[in-house]
Structures are given as C-alpha cells and as structure tokens.
Amino acid sequence: MAERVQILIDGGNLHHLVLRKLGIQELDFAFDKFAEFLANGRAITEAGKRFYVGTVREREGDKRSKQAMSRQTTLFTRLRSSGWEIKTSKLRTRIEKVVIDDRVKNYKELLKKGVKEVEFERMREKGIDVKLATDAIVGAIDDKYDTAIIVSSDGDLVPAIDWIRLRQKKKVEYVGFSIAGQNGDDTRPSQTLITHSDIQRILVASDLKPFIEQKLL
C-alpha cells in the first residue's frame, strides 16, 4: 500500500519567511506543483492539501487593503478549484513600539533628531497554529494519513507534533527554508522542529524556482 500523506501549509508563515524574500505574491506561486513536489510520488489523501491563513479585510479609504483582499479572494478561488481545504482566521491589528537605542542602525543620528521611539501597526494572525495542529491531530486519530507534511516553522506546533508521533505513531515531515534576506533578515529552518520531526527537508531559493509563475494573472 502506498504511503499516504497530508500536506498542511501555514500560509502566513510561508508568505513572511519565503515569498516576501523571493519578491513574489501567492498568486505567482504554483501551489499544486509544490504539493506534488512535497508528496514526491506518495499518495495525497482526500482533502489532503490544506492551507491556513489569516483573512485580509478591506479598510475604508485604504486602496492597498482593497487590492490585498481582491488578491486573496482570487487565491482562495484558485486553490479551492484544485481541491485545497482552506482554513482561515481573522488578522488583527496591534500597535507595536521600537525604542531607539544601540540595537538600531544609525541610532545616534535618530536620537539627535529627537526620535526616541517609533510606533507602527502590525497585522497578526490569531489561531492559525491551533487550527493546523487540530487538523493534524484529528487526521492522525482518524487514520487519514501515514505522514503529515508540515510547511511551517512555528514552534507552537511541537506539542501536537509530539502527540501525533508518540501516541498515534504517525510520521511528521518538517519542511523548512534557508533563504537569504536583503537586510540580513535571513530565513533559517527551525531547529526545534528539526528535532521534533521524523523527516526534515530544508529548501533553498533554487528549489522553489520551478514553482514561481510570474504573470499568472
């Protein structure tokens, strides 16, 4: 009997750690081809392609938010048409503050100009890791797969991963990334998830080139 796999992709994690580094949007990425690559000849189970992401909301008078929501709607339509299960959560805005000190480049110049701190808005997903972990656990209990392929570097998934492996005797394959950023903000694989998984696949930028389809729209 062929090995059965279920692919669980944390869309927000993929966006921030990979796609942004490559300078592309989700609509430029061939998720179906990527799933086949991850399966590597193994059988993808029914409802075995799963995508988890925070939903973008249009903000009145904000053209960029309207465009982002339109792109996400198109992405969801495209994924659903090829059999992806999509799980969403609300993106919440919160104000974060950076204090200007010696950890900040050119901090002396900023302090001379009277800039002591910077406030900015950041969008955060709530509950995506819980939904991914829950689906992985339920799939293991219901014997829906032999191996869960998890595309996320979120360390909060470790308790669920340990339970799946130790209690249900299912394998977990961690897919991480090693990609250089432009400002030293390199993406590195999670050592924690490497330690807590059965199989580890670390992809670099060249591994992802076959899945970048510019001008898909």
Q: Which of 158, 166, 133, 150 is nearest to 13 (CA)?
A: 150
Domain-located, residue 32: yes
| Mean per-residue pLDDT over the chain, rounded | 88
CATH code of 11's domain: 3.40.50.1010
User: What per-residue confidence (pLDDT) applies to 25?
Assistant: 92
Distance in angstroms (rounded) separating the CA atoms of residues 154 and 150: 10
Domain count, the chain: 1
Domain-located, residue 96: no
Range of the domain at 13: 4-90+125-211
Residue type, 120: F
| Contact between residue 207 and residue 175 where contact means Cβ atoms under 8 Å apart | no
Question: Does the pLDDT at position 121 exceed 60?
Answer: no
Residue type, 124: R
Question: Does the pLDDT at position 209 exceed 80?
Answer: yes
pLDDT tens digits for range 7-33: 999 999 999 999 999 999 999 999 999
Contacts of 174 (CB under 8 A, 6+ apart): 150, 189, 190, 193, 194, 196, 197, 199, 200, 201
User: What per-residue confidence (pLDDT) applies to 172?
Assistant: 98
Domain-located, residue 106: no
Question: 216 or 35, which is more confident?
Answer: 35
Domain-located, residue 144: yes
Domain-located, residue 99: no
Domain-located, residue 105: no
**Residue corresponding to tokens 């729209």:** 217
Domain-located, residue 120: no
By mean pLDDT, which of 24-33, 57-66, 118-127 is the weakest?
118-127
Q: Which of 25, 67, 15, 17 is nearest to 216 (CA)?
A: 25
pLDDT tens digits for range 127-178: 799 999 999 999 999 999 999 999 999 999 999 999 999 999 999 999 999 9
Question: Does the pLDDT at position 57 exceed 80?
Answer: no
User: What per-residue confidence (pLDDT) applies to 1?
Assistant: 75
User: What per-residue confidence (pLDDT) applies to 113?
Assistant: 78
Indicate the pTM of the whole model: 0.81
Domain-located, residue 217: no
